[in-house]
Amino acid sequence: MTEIPKHPEALEEQPVSPTRGRWLIAVMFLFAISVSVGLWTYWELHTRPFRSLTDALGEKFPDSNPRVEGGKHGLHRDIDSILRIVIRIEYNPEREPERYGNDVVTILQMAANHVELQVYDRCDIHLFRQTPEEEPVVTSRTISREDFPQPQI
């Protein structure tokens, strides 16, 4: 069996600069810190206006995982400004329409108490029920600015 001769330059050890590795580690840490700060800033600016409403909905409807978003999607477009509220419910709204209607009124009143609704053109309320191995039941109601309730203190 013939042995492949090795190149003489490959046998020489290349000097490794310890400062190069330190710089690489420092750059990695700075990158991680800047990404973390960026994510925290985005999340803070995105959720702060709706945090009190989200917390209040979570207290009123336990285990509902409320999600509240607002504004325009695509600032350059001439579209409606929407307040969107999504809540998980434990009952089937198609079988209990009265309870569903009461919950929508309660949610809309809570929104009026915690958010300045008049800056939005409409409010979309989505309630969904998802049970294992079944299709989710989603019911939605859109409320226009004219039908917004007044805040109650």
Q: Please count the other Cβ atoms lying within 10 Å of the Cβ belonging to residue 100.
A: 18
pTM of the model: 0.75
pLDDT for 11: 56
pLDDT for 78: 78
Q: What is the mean pLDDT of residues 20-27?
A: 88
Three-class SS state of 117: helix
pLDDT for 45: 87
pLDDT for 14: 61
pLDDT for 148: 92
pLDDT for 94: 85
Sequential DSSP letters for 6-41: PPHHHHSPPPPPHHHHHHHHHHHHHHHHHHHHHHHH
Kindly report, residue by residue over 86-115, the tens digit of the pLDDT: 999 999 888 899 999 999 999 999 999 999
Sole residue written with tokens 């109650």: 152
Kindly report, residue by residue over 47-82, the tens digit of the pLDDT: 899 999 999 999 999 999 999 998 887 666 778 889
DSSP code at position 73 = S
CB 83 within 8 A of CB 70: yes
Whole-number Å distance between alpha carbons of 143 and 105: 10
The terminus-to-terminus CA distance of the chain in angstroms comes to 92
